[in-house]
Structure 1
Amino acid sequence: MKIRLALLSVAVMVALSGCGDTKDDTAQKKPENSGHEGHTDHVPSGDVPEGLKTADDPTFKVGSQATIQDGHMPGMKGAKANIAGAYSTTAYVLSYTPTTGGERVQHHKWVIHEEIENAGQDAFKKGQEVTLLADHMKGMKGAKAVIESAEQTTVYTVDYTPTTGGETVRNHKWVTESELSAP
């Protein structure tokens, strides 16, 4: 009986060891900052929200290169980015609980004005509760969020290869002008 129990225990441990994390080098890893801790399923898309205005004279032109100075996702900080899009809008830092469950995401950078339900002409204020239309992270679309800060700025979509290695991340949303520098 003890031998059967020991063999069964070993078999279960072997089976469960195959259920661990698998390596995925497409920006789906544990993040470098609290803005995405425990919630790192980036969903890249070239789609931009309806009504989003292209920036008239962005510091970083579409097609140019820049260096990313902030680490929203693993391997972002210090990565060379190709500018895929440049838009004028209000960018928000906010906290929300994913619709897929799990821990509340604190200090998420960035959701833009056009990615919030019933966004009128005026920017949302600190402390306001909103419903997200953004879907660039799993569990974001439809989530209730609280605005922590707002910044009128140029936001960029960027393509970059993580400094940690792996495949190129395409159309990462969003990086603000202050988070980029000349290459």
Structure 2
Amino acid sequence: MNGRTTRRRNRRLGAAVGAGLLSAAILLTGCAADNTDEDPPGNSPEEHGEHGGMEHPADGGPVPEGMTEATDPTYPVGTEVTLTADHMDGMDGATATIVGAYDTYTYSVDYTPTTGGDPITDHKWVVQEELEGAGDERLPDGTEVTLAAAHMDGMDGAAATIASSTEETVYVVDYEADGMTMTNHKWVVESEIEPTS
């Protein structure tokens, strides 16, 4: 290959790279411009709360199929309570409304998100019905499982290890913290709830 051909190729390559960089800059500028707050904070369905350094949807959605409703829970559906859990910023001391009460085994788990990033330790909580192929028996601490919960990005399908478990009644709650309304938040166990004074 002679010098003239090499210079022509280098000029074409330089022009292509320059055009690519310009396109990327325009695209990023467009993304930034589109990222404006059209809704006031807390009103967007995309709003999230922090949970162990990761984002948690403002609406937790429905419970898994096959859940058994508690027959005589301490806090029936509709009860106003005070949360003592600190799973998320602003949760401890927040007033909440019970929207579901269930009998199942509930687990704290350690896992690494499928989306990458740092491992999550002592994630509270997932229920028996959110573990793939878990069966009906309570699983011992240290059991390796696969999560079928989608509380946060990177959780569904992640390999996890059970850190601890409880058979307390487990609840779904609506509550407000730090100016954001969380609906269908899963999960809070009975020992993390107090009567509202």
TM normalised by structure 1 equals 0.80
Alignment of 1:133 with 2:148, yes or no, is yes
Following superposition, the deviation at residue 42 of structure 1 comes to: 3.4
8 Å Cα contact 1:43/1:138 also seen in 2: no
Match of 1:172 in 2: 185
Match of 1:103 in 2: 118
CA distance in 2, matches of 1:109, 1:70: 9
CA distance in 2, matches of 1:123, 1:48: 19
Percent identity between matched residues is 46
CA distance in 1, matches of 2:48, 2:163: 25
Following superposition, the deviation at residue 150 of structure 1 comes to: 1.1
Amino acid at match of 1:92: Y
The correspondence of residues 3-152 of structure 1 with structure 2, limited to 5 A, is 25=42, 26-29=47-50, 31=51, 36=52, 38-42=53-57, 44-152=59-167
CA distance in 1, matches of 2:174, 2:70: 18
8 Å Cα contact 2:142/2:163 also seen in 1: yes
CA distance in 2, matches of 1:24, 1:127: 40
Following superposition, the deviation at residue 71 of structure 1 comes to: 1.2
Alignment of 1:181 with 2:194, yes or no, is yes
Deviations 1:77-98, CA, capped at 9 Å, x for gaps: 1100010100011110110001
Amino acid at match of 1:28: G
Q: 1:114 is paired with a residue of what secondary structure?
A: helix
Deviations 1:139-169, CA, capped at 9 Å, x for gaps: 110000000111111111100010x2x2311
Q: 2:54 is paired with a residue of what secondary structure?
A: coil
CA distance in 2, matches of 1:125, 1:139: 24
Do the aligned partners of residues 105 and 170 (structure 1) sit closer, same or farther apart at CA in structure 2, a change above 3 Å counting?
same
Report which of the two structures shows the higher radius of gyration computed on alpha carbons: 2
Q: 2:191 is paired with a residue of what secondary structure?
A: helix
Deviations 1:115-162, CA, capped at 9 Å, x for gaps: 000011111111111000011111110000000111111111100010
8 Å Cα contact 2:48/2:58 also seen in 1: no
Do the aligned partners of residues 179 and 118 (structure 1) sit closer, same or farther apart at CA in structure 2, a change above 3 Å counting?
same
Following superposition, the deviation at residue 46 of structure 1 comes to: 3.1
8 Å Cα contact 1:27/1:74 also seen in 2: no
List structure 1 runs of 4+ shifted beyond 6 angstroms. Answer: none
TM normalised by structure 2 equals 0.74
Provide structure 2 residue ranges, at least 5 long, that are not aligned to the other structure.
1-28
Match of 2:169 in 1: 154
Amino acid at match of 1:171: N
8 Å Cα contact 2:58/2:183 also seen in 1: no
